[in-house]
Amino acid sequence: MYIETRTRSILKAISWRILATLTTMTLVYAFFRRLDLAAAVGVLEAIIKMVVYFGHERVWNRVKFGKKEIPSFVVWFTGLPLSGKTTIADGVYERLKKDGIKIQRLDSKDVRSLFPETGYTREERNRHIKRVGHLVSILEKQGISSVASFISPYKESRDFVRKNVRNFVEVYVKASVDTCRKRDKNGMYEKAIKGEIKNFTGISDVYEEPQNPDIVVDTEKLSINEAIDKVYNYVKDKFLKNGRI
């Protein structure tokens, strides 16, 4: 979240005092019809009250009363390949970022490029998701929220992430295999059906559908914008309702 810098406090003090001083000078002149007296009172008042105002602002910045900390959190998107996870997660991330939230975006394609030797067996996938789980838990402890989108097909690795973060939101991006195949412009599903790609989720490998996700986003029924709104509003109500936004 944003904090008030010394420079911003100074500029606010100056702009306010200019307006207030002009008002004071106008009142003095209206009563005494002396421009020199009005100017002297205005300058003296401006200097004194600028100092007082700046000190007042800095003191209040140190006072915790009335401030509510917005907790860090992890929004975890799971679903079949081409269900819409990445697109929706990107939209939610951008909206939260605009709200001033300290937040990090993690996506499977980006993280896998850091670990090119990671395979697609059940054991390797679970190990990979647990690795990401450790990462988001560290970010959360540092006050940085995360929006993560991973197929994460197995219940045990998703549960691992949930147990290792304080504020976890599981978003199940729901779409049938047939729908995902129709969206597949690169023919990955067809290659998997032909056996050219091994351990492909939804075809040659299982996807364990979440039983109790925090949010279900059915991309066969909702538009991208509707899906983004649904997730964003849930996060806002759960974590940000009493905060700044």
Six-digit token string for 4: 């008030």
DSSP string spanning 197-218? SSS-BTTTB-----SS-SEEEE
Q: DSSP code of 243?
A: S
Catalytic residue among 146, 152, 204, 223: 152
Single-letter amino acid code for the residue at 156: E
Decide if 152 is catalytic: yes
Between CA 125 and CA 231, with CA 130 as vertex, the angle to 5 degrees is 95
d(CA 29, CA 41): 10
| Nearest to 103, CA basis, from 27, 1, 185 | 1
Other Cβ atoms closer than 10 A to 56:
13
Q: Which residues are catalytic?
A: 152
